[in-house]
Amino acid sequence: IQNIPAIPSFIKDGKVLDIGCGDGDTLVLLKNLGWDPYGFDIDSRSVEIARERGIHARLGTYKELSEYPDHYFDAIRLYHVIEHIDDPSLCLSLIHKKLKKKGELLIGTPNVESVIAGLFKQYWYNLDTPRHLFLFSPQTLGKLLNKNNFILKKVEFCSVGGIPGSLQYVIGDLLKRKINLIKIPIVLLFYPVEWFLNKLRIGDIFVMRASAKSN
């Protein structure tokens, strides 16, 4: 569990919501630790699988948060989700209403000001247009959190795969054909560089840990 990003601080029997939960892999781990797991996803098959694994999963987006009582969740997680959302500010506002007082929010998203983004520019792996509607830096996301009544607690960097992913676009463009470099041996080859960038706090992916201010 230590190697999985954006894991909430443990609360026994706490209610945790994973927006964009997929098949529920992370929620199953949290359930085994003692959490009461909830999730949303836009893929009906993923929701079905998550339910079979004992997750309170439902089909939908962050807008389904309105179906829950205010101050219902102890922790809410969005990992590689906020960049896909049509209105990140509205999403954070809804999350604030549904988190308990001082409840924890965890957001993982690409860093538009990373060294890798600056180096590869339009070939940057995590640019991912048109699926990514918004791109953030720790500074811009921090301001958005503050605007929506969150207190920033910690910023962590957990990049992996950004360099080979970007290189495959450069090489593919040169060769005029699709190249796949996201393979474990290649990713591991570049991981020491990405680990070093993470330590310098200029990595490709960052996770923000915040708590909800009192209303």
Q: pLDDT digit string (tens) for 24-60?
A: 999 999 999 999 999 999 999 999 999 999 999 999 9
Do 80 and 61 form a contact (C-beta atoms < 8 A)? no
Q: Select from 37, 5, 3 the least CA-distant residue to 21.
A: 37
Three-class SS state of 32: helix
Rounded CA separation 124/121 (Å): 5
Report field, pTM of the whole predicted structure over 0.75 = yes
Take residue 85 and report the two structure tokens written for it. 């959302």
Tell me the pLDDT tens digit for each residue of 96-119: 999 999 899 999 999 999 999 999
Q: Is residue 1 predicted with pLDDT exceeding 60?
A: no
Q: Select from 112, 94, 111 the least CA-distant residue to 103.
A: 94
Residues 6+ apart with CB under 8 A from 19: 39, 40, 61, 62, 76, 77, 78, 81
Residues 6+ apart with CB under 8 A from 174: none
The pLDDT score that the predictor gives to residue 129 is 85
Using CA atoms, how far residue 138 sits from 22, 38, 40, 152, 209, in Å, is 25, 27, 25, 10, 11
